[in-house]
Chains A and B, each alone.
Chain A
Amino acid sequence: MKISVADVEHAASLARLELTSEEKELFAGQIGAILDYVEKLKELDTEGIVPTSHAVPMENAFREDIVQPSIGVARSLANAPEREGSFFAVPKVIE
């Protein structure tokens, strides 16, 4: 399947990735080759087959709603690249 550089750019923007022009060319070729390979799934008639999203059959996993200790604000923020008080700081979102 032919994947254009524009297709690659579209997927990259959805994935929040910025690719170099070399990476775009590389991925267009490689993803195209992989998609050619996965075309073989079309050989199979899957009409009426239920899709599997999870290998072990299970319903919702319920538990009692009991308050448990949590890791707390200080440890939650310990890896923050930038913080302000008890918040994660990010570049300005609203002008």
Chain B
Amino acid sequence: MNIFDMTIHALHAALKGKRVSSVEATTAMLERISSVEPQVGSFITVTPEQALAAAAAADQRIARGDCDLLTGIPLAIKDIFLTEGVRTTCGSRILDNFIPPYSATSWEMLRGCGAVLLGKLNQDEFAMGSSNESSAYGTTRNPWNTDYIPGGSSGGSAAAVAASEAVATLGTDTGGSIRQPASHCGCVGLKPTYGRVSRYGVIAYASSLDQVGPLTRDVADCATMLGAIAGHDHKDSTSVDTPVPDYSSSLTHGVKGLKIGLPKEYFISGLDADVQVAMDAAIETYRRLGAEFVDVSLPHTDYAVATYYLIATAEASSNLARYDGVRFGHRAEAEGLLEMYTKSRSEGFGVEVKRRIMLGTYALSSGYYDAYYVKAQKVRTLIMNDFTTAFADVDVMLTPVAPTAAFKIGEKVNDPLQMYLSDIFTIPVNLAGTCAMSLPAGFSAAGLPIGLQLIGKPFGEETILQAGYAFEQATEWHTRKATI
């Protein structure tokens, strides 16, 4: 097997058994990146020197007998995570020259385990997009078919795993930005419960919805990555101080007697036929494994996209006010202060970011605040209540991740509303603040991956990982590789 195709667990065994060194593994990954990047474009910044230095340090650590599961494993992270001394753009021209003075807690935790950073991954600008087409650094392409989008906003994080450019990656998910690209690229992606993972040092888009999570080749790797980054952080007052379970040790519990809810609003007539086939097959697999299915209802599903695009854009318009050209980022030539703010922002932001700032500003402006923003916050309560009610009867819910497989590059770029509607099955989970995972569950007629979503109760990551692991053991979708 090629080193670059290995899982965390396989590479860990090889490192521990001294069959390969981290420097060799990192070199293999860097060569792989050089060979496929021209076609895929997963990275904004590759950091070969730092990666090889970190790999050499990891090898010394391993030689001392100190080999954590992540020691010496080459990873890459979305360019939304601050990395001390390594340029961090968030996919935007406004941060083109930004070198952070400190690192995100989630990356610090991985680094502490001895993980090696290969570079920073492409994404939609400020995580605003579902296709990676809003990046100021070129569109990432889907490794399964480069005419198609990889999904977004963590499109580079998913494409890098699918194209074997990193063993595993980190992304962020505000409305589906881990799960939807994972689904479109055929990898595993998990959005933890809000507060499970620190957001410190993660460039903010919509603070009440943003959450950090892993994208991996399989569920066991996903459990390892989540275990490494989860936990309370005194630097993020919204991170929650609940014990972190050992996600890996309980993976094999199986699904016998597990109650799986099928929310009827997610199995609508407009669902793509290939996606429906994949869902039916997944349900059959779980039945065979001993799970029970229960019909449930999330009655306010149809209002989730509207609610999201008011709340997320309102929070974004406030969060992005910090890009004013004063302390960091792009500064335009100007006579006065107001002109400097306005010119710096107008030159630095791309069109999707401007559109969302405009929508959010409008929704928060005098005379519209109650009608739009407060109304959306009230509907958010109704959506959360839907989940609480449904979870009284079931342990997890099973749904599609997206209504279709990946669409073509350019297909929705001129119709923002259609683009927004492609997130209909992922957005409600962010509004409710709970956890969900995407895992490979089939392919479309065009040969593009289709993902299955398992939604868990708040802090129910352990249960969805168990259910995902059982599915993975019973199927072979996750073993297929993109031929790039």
Q: Is B172 an interface residue (CB 8 A)?
A: no
B416 proximity list for chain A (CB < 8 A):
30, 34
User: How does the 8 Å CB contact mask read for A1-30 relative to B, with 1 for contact and 0 for none?
Assistant: 000000110111011111100010001001
Most chain A CB neighbours (cut-off 10 Å) among B98, B209, B340, B354: B354
Instruction: Evaluate contact between B354 and A17: CB separation under 8 angstroms.
Output: yes
Instruction: Evaluate contact between A91 and B336: CB separation under 8 angstroms.
Output: yes
Chain B interface, >50% SS class: helix
Q: Is A90 an interface residue (CB 8 A)?
A: yes
Q: Which of A37-84 contact B (CB under 8 A)?
A: 37-38, 40-42, 44, 46, 49-56, 58, 61, 63, 71, 75-76, 78-82
Q: A11-B358, A91-B340 are in contact. Are A79 and B377 (CB under 8 A)?
A: no
| Distance between Cα atoms of A14 and B340 in the complex (Å) | 15
| Distance between Cα atoms of A36 and B157 in the complex (Å) | 34
Instruction: Evaluate contact between B351 and A23: CB separation under 8 angstroms.
Output: yes
Minimum C-beta distance from B14 to chain A (A): 38
| Distance between Cα atoms of A37 and B419 in the complex (Å) | 13
Instruction: Evaluate contact between A52 and B384: CB separation under 8 angstroms.
Output: yes
Minimum C-beta distance from A25 to chain B (A): 13
Minimum C-beta distance from B326 to chain A (A): 6
Q: Is B78 an interface residue (CB 8 A)?
A: no
B384 proximity list for chain A (CB < 8 A):
52, 55
Minimum C-beta distance from B130 to chain A (A): 15
Q: A30-B416, A82-B331, A91-B340 are in contact. Are A38 and B309 (CB under 8 A)?
A: yes
Instruction: Evaluate contact between B99 and A31: CB separation under 8 angstroms.
Output: no
Q: Is B307 an interface residue (CB 8 A)?
A: yes
Q: Which B residue's beta carbon lies closest to that of A82? A: B331
Instruction: Evaluate contact between B372 and A38: CB separation under 8 angstroms.
Output: yes
Q: A23-B351, A76-B101 are in contact. Are A17 and B208 (CB under 8 A)?
A: no
Q: A7-B362, A19-B346, A33-B417 are in contact. Are A52 and B377 (CB under 8 A)?
A: yes
Q: Which B residue's beta carbon lies closest to that of A75? A: B101
Q: Which A residue's beta carbon lies closest to that of B334? A: A91
Instruction: Evaluate contact between A27 and B358: CB separation under 8 angstroms.
Output: yes
Which of B119-127, B137-145, B233-241, B467-475 lies at the interface? B233-241
Instruction: Evaluate contact between B306 and A53: CB separation under 8 angstroms.
Output: no
Q: Which A residue's beta carbon lies closest to that of B360? A: A15
Instruction: Point out the residue from B346, B361, B376 that lies within 8 Å of A14, measured CB to CB.
Output: B361
| Distance between Cα atoms of A58 and B242 in the complex (Å) | 12
Instruction: Evaluate contact between A71 and B381: CB separation under 8 angstroms.
Output: no
Q: How large is the interface on A (under 10, 10 to 19, 20 to 34, 35 or more residues)?
A: 35 or more
| Distance between Cα atoms of A65 and B346 in the complex (Å) | 40
| Distance between Cα atoms of A56 and B238 in the complex (Å) | 8
Instruction: Point out the residue from A37, A46, A92 that lies within 8 Å of B417, measured CB to CB.
Output: A37
Q: A44-B303, A55-B384, A55-B433 are in contact. Are A34 and B359 (CB under 8 A)?
A: yes
| Distance between Cα atoms of A74 and B9 in the complex (Å) | 41
Instruction: Evaluate contact between B329 and A79: CB separation under 8 angstroms.
Output: yes
Tally of contact residues, B, Cβ under 8 A: 73
Q: Which A residue's beta carbon lies closest to that of B383? A: A52
Q: A23-B351, A33-B417 are in contact. Are A54 and B238 (CB under 8 A)?
A: yes
Instruction: Evaluate contact between A90 and B379: CB separation under 8 angstroms.
Output: no
Instruction: Evaluate contact between A16 and B341: CB separation under 8 angstroms.
Output: yes
Minimum C-beta distance from B174 to chain A (A): 12
Instruction: Evaluate contact between B377 and A51: CB separation under 8 angstroms.
Output: yes
Q: A31-B358, A31-B359, A41-B303 are in contact. Are A51 and B378 (CB under 8 A)?
A: yes
Minimum C-beta distance from B175 to chain A (A): 13
A33 proximity list for chain B (CB < 8 A):
417
B193 proximity list for chain A (CB < 8 A):
56
Instruction: Evaluate contact between A18 and B355: CB separation under 8 angstroms.
Output: no
Q: A8-B358, A46-B379, A82-B331 are in contact. Are A14 and B365 (CB under 8 A)?
A: yes
| Distance between Cα atoms of A52 and B343 in the complex (Å) | 35
| Distance between Cα atoms of A40 and B307 in the complex (Å) | 10
A23 proximity list for chain B (CB < 8 A):
351, 354
B378 proximity list for chain A (CB < 8 A):
46, 49-52
Instruction: Evaluate contact between A15 and B317: CB separation under 8 angstroms.
Output: yes
Most chain A CB neighbours (cut-off 10 Å) among B302, B358, B420: B358
Q: Is B166 an interface residue (CB 8 A)?
A: no
A27 proximity list for chain B (CB < 8 A):
354-355, 358
Instruction: Evaluate contact between B336 and A41: CB separation under 8 angstroms.
Output: no
Q: Which of B282-325 contact A (CB under 8 A)?
A: 300, 302-303, 305-307, 309-310, 317, 321, 324-325
| Distance between Cα atoms of A30 and B184 in the complex (Å) | 27
| 9 residue pairs from A and B, CB less than 8 Å apart | A8-B358, A33-B417, A34-B416, A46-B382, A52-B381, A61-B237, A61-B238, A79-B98, A81-B330
Q: Given A18-B346, A37-B417, A56-B193, 14 other A-B contacts at CB below 8 A?
A: A16-B321, A17-B345, A27-B354, A31-B358, A37-B306, A38-B372, A46-B382, A55-B194, A55-B431, A58-B240, A80-B328, A81-B331, A91-B339, A93-B336
Q: List 7 tightest A-B contacts by C-beta distance, closest first.
A: A55-B433, A51-B377, A81-B331, A79-B328, A61-B237, A46-B378, A75-B101
